[in-house]
Amino acid sequence: MLHRFFGGVHPIEHKDLTEQKAAVPLPEAPAQVVIPLSVNGGEPGLPLVAEGDSVKVGQQIAQPQGLGAPIHASVSGKVSAVESRSYGGGGKMLSVVIDNDFQDTPCPDGKRRSSATGITGGEIRKLIEDAGIVGMGGAGFPTSAKLESGLGKVDTLIVNGCECEPYITSDYRLMLERGEAVIEGARLLAKALGAQKTVIAVETNKPDAIELLRAQAGGEEDLRVQPLRTRYPQGAEKQLIQTLTGRQVPSGKLPVETGCLVFNVATAAAVWEAVMEGKALTRRYVTVTGGALVRPMNVIAPVGTPVSWLIKLAGGFQMPPDRVLLGGAMMGTPLYDLDAPVMKTTNCVLCLTGDEVGRQDPAQACIRCGKCAEVCPMKLAPLFIRMNAEKRRWEAARALHAMDCIECGCCGYICPARLPLVQSFRMAKAAIREEKSRSGAGTGEEQKKGEGEG
């Protein structure tokens, strides 16, 4: 039995720009890649290479420090620098810069398997860790650590193929083109987790992907493909769990508390490649789209590819963009340096025209219409959280459950006064985290954004 999550909106999808375009390897590889040594904005990894070293595709180039994942070379060539460079999270990050030799010479460390029979859950988790796999639909949380957190606690594995954000079609193309890897990767994740049930959730605006995945699954009882109503943010982790199981993640808690864990379809495919083909995570599907581009497209890009290179391959700008985002129109983050690289979490480069951005009148006074509360999928009171954030009353904002905000943008989308609600919530959450850190208490929000957002 399916359930419904509270609130939500249905923005114009704009997926027609790229949904019928197969994802292709880059027709021209970049002469240089810049690989940040942190995926989730945390402490950079420890470099294992130095300027002048030769590297191969899949060779480990950094060891994680703290909660992170190994980093691997995405092209073969020579390391030209290990230095701070711009990255998509804003600011600069210690990075390994590799001059591409265009040979794509593979690292010989990977081991192919003809069958997953006999492999244990522990072995799968170790292979996932060594391959540097992270959540590819959200915050870049290390997949092996997420699996470890759910051992003995989880009965249901959810694989998220909803891709509810406007414009983005990278997961859709992945499901169509790599359906078997998604299905078998989901089964490997279930084995690594010890989950009894596996559900792959796909919104009904992708009927061909649903049909193909069901055919690949073969009707076996260990896994089902579940169509879901098209509504944003259907693919948000907490809303997806509620829709499929009726369970709600308690305030301040993580999804594992409900007996569920959510992984993105791209993560599942990467797991299959790690276990069966011995490949580290060095490439990913990316949608390059928006009305400002000449030829919107889907590509398979090496991690570290400059965004400017993808824009060039898409024909460049047919008009100056109003803004460029990494991610979708609802939750994407503004990109201020087009030479910032593709990361493991980059699913879309969105170049919007002024018409697509829409009305940009200055914010007006709130008219207390209540629409923000009506559409908030977390049942929050966005207006009052914002009022306290503006007055820097962080404890009052925390008492209103500001930390439960998933930053989906529904409130800002519907607000007739055009108030910058999400920006206020981010400010409040950052201040609350800082205060909690100073006091030595945790916020219960170690995973700031769910893996399953999308």
pLDDT in tens, 59-99: 999 999 988 999 999 999 999 999 999 998 788 999 999 99
Q: How far apart are CA 425 and CA 85, in angstroms?
A: 28
Q: Name the superfamily (CATH) of residues 112-277.
A: NADH-ubiquinone oxidoreductase 51kDa subunit (3.40.50.11540)
Give the strand pairing for 323-326 and 348-352.
Answer: antiparallel
- E strand intervals along 75-215: 77-86, 92-100, 156-160, 197-203
Domain ranges of the chain: 22-109+280-355, 112-277, 371-439
Which residues of the chain register pLDDT less than 50? Answer: 443-454
Which of 277, 241, 233 is closest to 258 using CA atoms? Answer: 241
CB 96 within 8 A of CB 45: no
Task: Please tell me the predicted confidence (pLDDT) of residue 39.
Answer: 85
Query: What pLDDT, on a 0 to 100 scale, did the predictor assign at position 450?
Result: 43
Render pLDDT for 222-265 as a digit per residue (tens, 0 to 9): 899 999 999 999 999 999 999 999 999 998 899 999 999 999 99
For residues 238 and 255, give the distance between their C-alpha atoms in angstroms, rounded to a whole number: 7
Determine contact, residues 297/313, Cβ cutoff 8 Å. yes
Whether the domain at 22-109+280-355 and the domain at 112-277 fall into the same CATH topology: no
Question: What pLDDT is recorded for position 452?
Answer: 46
User: What share of the chain has pLDDT > 90, as a percent?
Assistant: 84
Selected from 3.90.1150.10, 3.30.310.40, 3.30.70.2190, 3.10.20.600, the CATH number assigned to the domain covering 22-109+280-355 reads 3.10.20.600
The confidence score (pLDDT) of residue 114 equals 87
- What local confidence, expressed as pLDDT, does residue 442 receive? 54
Average pLDDT of the chain to the nearest whole number: 93
For residue 431, what pLDDT is reported? 95
Q: Are 201 and 244 in contact (CB under 8 A)?
A: yes
Residue 96: strand, helix, or coil: strand
Burial (CB < 10 A; 0-12, 13-18, 19+), residue 120, is exposed
Cβ(339)–Cβ(304) under 8 Å?
no
